[in-house]
Amino acid sequence: MPTKTIGDFLIQELHAHGVRHVFGVPGDYALWFYRQLDGSKLKVINTCDEQGAGFAADAYARIRGLGVVCITYCVGGLKVANTTAQAFAEKSPVVIISGAPGVKERTRNPLLHHKVRDFHVQSKVFEQLTVASAVIDNAQTACREIRRVIAAALCQKRPVYIELPRDMLATRVTATHASTKTPEPPPVAMLQEAAAETTKMINAARRPVIIAGVELHRFGLQDELLQLVDKSNIPVATTPLGKSVISERHPRYLGVYAGGMGRAQVRRFVESSDCLILLGTFMSDINLGVFTAHLEQSRTIYATSEKTSIRYHIYEHVTLSDLMHTLVTAGLRRRRAPAFPSPTAPTAFRPVSGRPVTVKRLFQRLNTFLEDDTVVVADVGDAMFAALDMTIHGRTEFLSPAYYTSLGFAVPASIGVQLANRKLRPLVLVGDGAFQMTGMELSTAVRFGLSPIVVVLNNRGYGTERPMLDGSFNDIQQWRYSLIPELIGAGHGFEVRTEDELEAAIQASGTYADSLCVLDVHLDPNDTSPALRRLTEVLGKRVRVKK
């Protein structure tokens, strides 16, 4: 067998799993790997800051199934601790590759630059944030270790960590065919029992409903969901994190269920169902409308990537994937198309000249702007809450960190999204607070010829916090966001205060199809979406403490 360098082997493995772009910032410990990447089939996407690379890779992974960050030791790696935590929390398979001091350089623990306490600090930090990690310090095991770690990312849909001491990169290795362990299937009898019980429970129900979660997307089960729905005519809702796992124009699509945060009709329909089928749903606070959801366990089937629960008992080894595959072939009865409160179709927007823009009217207009090639990337805050009511055309064309909720995701994420699928144009919805964290990554977008439309919800601060507890700490400095294209050398900026200005800016953004467009939309600081108003009321009660 021909030998190749460890660096080239790693690149080849990533390419074989569909990776075409690597996000990061170079640094001396990673420099030679950057040179190897530069001569490879993978394209390097330099971001302004490592944080941007982390978020971009996370979004890329959500679209393509695997994302890669490559950064230097500690000063780069520790900057992506938070983005890696988000990928862990929301099941996004990202490979973190960190350059590192050479194995030989580490002898006697010298004070090399970028070292914290000792040479283990970074790998120990990433043990907390990943499902597998490897320090590639041994040529004998290098190929096996790289394959083991990448396989873990693909299997568990969570981030992994590979540390590359710089003196190992050029070491030649022979790639042997490693046996990658696939998870053990459940015992046949167990699966049969679970499938029979599930089928019986669903068939006996008068008004079952599916709540489709994000794991359906992560584990590639969206076709199965569609088959299940089409076969049985059971209506389907999603959660905030799972929004768009099914096209929101599907005739059986009910809307986003999120307890007291979602639309009232969806809530009533779901909570009064006599059979709740939860498929790959995260039972998190925000997904459940900050625990305002009432899902009666005695009527629930709940399958996740780890196990299936029916009412009060558990099938430990029956996964979401196992259950989905049996359900699409099982004897589920076909129902009559059920009556349910369909999502209201986008209504035409007639701008009133001179009228100040409100959150509600802004989203009404944006909703009519969505096309089949639009991917909505919503940052945390009212951008996300308001976006829950938008009607997404395709599958997985809504991205938002609705569980981990790290501010500053959307702009860098849009870079990952558009590189992962060049047919998509991102519509980025971002609050001004979140924008000030990572928004300058638009520089990266224009550098690589991308064309997001960025709507900055400019309400002069952390709008989601004001209803909980307000103070000057929720204010931020006012920026002229529309100047950013001029600053970074490409794109078009718009100042929007009134409905006619909004209309003009949106139409222009449609026309400038290949350019960055930045809309600075001025909003009243106290104007919020109805969803946020309901949510923050609940959150506010929770954080209130007596002095």
Residues 55-74 that bind a second copy (CB under 8 A): 74
DSSP 48-100: SSHHHHHHHHHHHHHHHS-EEEEE-TTTTGGGGHHHHHHHHHTT--EEEEEEE
Q: Is 538 in the site for a second copy (CB under 8 A)?
A: no
* From candidates 134, 149, 377, 539, binder to a second copy by CB under 8 A: 539
For 102, the token pair is 């050479």
Whole-number Cα distances in Å, 309 to 59, 194, 198, 222, 477: 30, 9, 10, 21, 49
Selected range binding a second copy among 163-171, 306-314, 370-378, 524-532, rule: CB under 8 A: 163-171
Residues with Cβ < 8 Å from 144, sequence gap 6 or more? 176, 178
* From candidates 18, 41, 110, 511, binder to a second copy by CB under 8 A: 110
* From candidates 403, 414, 452, 459, binder to a second copy by CB under 8 A: 403
Question: Per-residue contact track with a second copy, 435 to 464, x per CB under 8 A?
Answer: -xxx-x--xx-xx--------------x--
Using alpha carbons, select from 119, 117, 108, 219 the residue that is nearest to residue 163.
Answer: 119
Output the smallest distance, CB 448 to a second copy, in A. 9
* From candidates 140, 179, 298, 477, binder to a second copy by CB under 8 A: 477
Map residue 18 onto helix, strand or coil.
Answer: coil
Q: How many chain residues are in contact with a second copy, going by CB under 8 A?
A: 89
Residues 282-321 that bind a second copy (CB under 8 A): 282-287
Smaller CB distance to a second copy: residue 245 or 440?
440
Smaller CB distance to a second copy: residue 369 or 448?
448
Question: Per-residue contact track with a second copy, 404 to 433, x per CB under 8 A?
Answer: xxxxx-------------------------
Residues 383-402 that bind a second copy (CB under 8 A): none
Selected range binding a second copy among 164-172, 219-227, 256-264, 385-393, rule: CB under 8 A: 164-172
Q: Is 35 in the site for a second copy (CB under 8 A)?
A: yes
Backbone angles phi, psi at 458, to 5 degrees: -90, 90
For 157, the token pair is 């849909």
How far is 69 from 75, CA to CA, in rounded Å? 14
* From candidates 344, 347, 478, 526, binder to a second copy by CB under 8 A: 478
* From candidates 112, 155, 508, 538, binder to a second copy by CB under 8 A: 112
Output the smallest distance, CB 155 to a second copy, in A. 17
Smaller CB distance to a second copy: residue 49 or 193?
49
How far is 238 from 233, CA to CA, in rounded Å? 16
Residues 484-513 that bind a second copy (CB under 8 A): 484, 486-489
CB 33 within 8 A of CB 351: no
The crossing angle, in degrees rounded to 10, of helices 320-329 and 222-232 is 40
Output the smallest distance, CB 38 to a second copy, in A. 5
Output the smallest distance, CB 8 to a second copy, in A. 9
Residues with Cβ < 8 Å from 251, sequence gap 6 or more? 337
Residues 37-56 that bind a second copy (CB under 8 A): 37-38, 44, 46, 48-49, 51
CB atoms within 10 A of CB 41: 11
DSSP 355-398: PBP-HHHHHHHHHHH--TTEEEEE-TTHHHHHHTTS---STT-E
Residues 229-288 that bind a second copy (CB under 8 A): 282-287
CB 159 within 8 A of CB 95: yes
Output the smallest distance, CB 44 to a second copy, in A. 5
Smaller CB distance to a second copy: residue 208 or 485?
485
Output the smallest distance, CB 459 to a second copy, in A. 15
**Where does residue 329 rank: exposed (0-12), middle (13-18), buried (19+ CB within 10 A)?**
exposed
* From candidates 12, 17, 106, 167, binder to a second copy by CB under 8 A: 167
Using alpha carbons, select from 88, 86, 67 the residue that is nearest to residue 24.
Answer: 67
How far is 210 from 513, CA to CA, in rounded Å? 37
CB 442 within 8 A of CB 518: yes
Q: Is 2 in the site for a second copy (CB under 8 A)?
A: no
Smaller CB distance to a second copy: residue 339 or 471?
471
Q: Is 82 in the site for a second copy (CB under 8 A)?
A: yes
Using alpha carbons, select from 496, 151, 196 the residue that is nearest to residue 355.
Answer: 496
* From candidates 11, 19, 57, 78, binder to a second copy by CB under 8 A: 78
Q: Is 139 in the site for a second copy (CB under 8 A)?
A: no
Selected range binding a second copy among 27-35, 261-269, 301-309, 315-323, rule: CB under 8 A: 27-35
Q: Is 155 in the site for a second copy (CB under 8 A)?
A: no
Output the smallest distance, CB 77 to a second copy, in A. 8
Q: Is 190 in the site for a second copy (CB under 8 A)?
A: no
* From candidates 103, 190, 476, 508, binder to a second copy by CB under 8 A: 476
CB 396 within 8 A of CB 223: no
CB atoms within 10 A of CB 478: 12
How far is 262 from 201, CA to CA, in rounded Å? 27
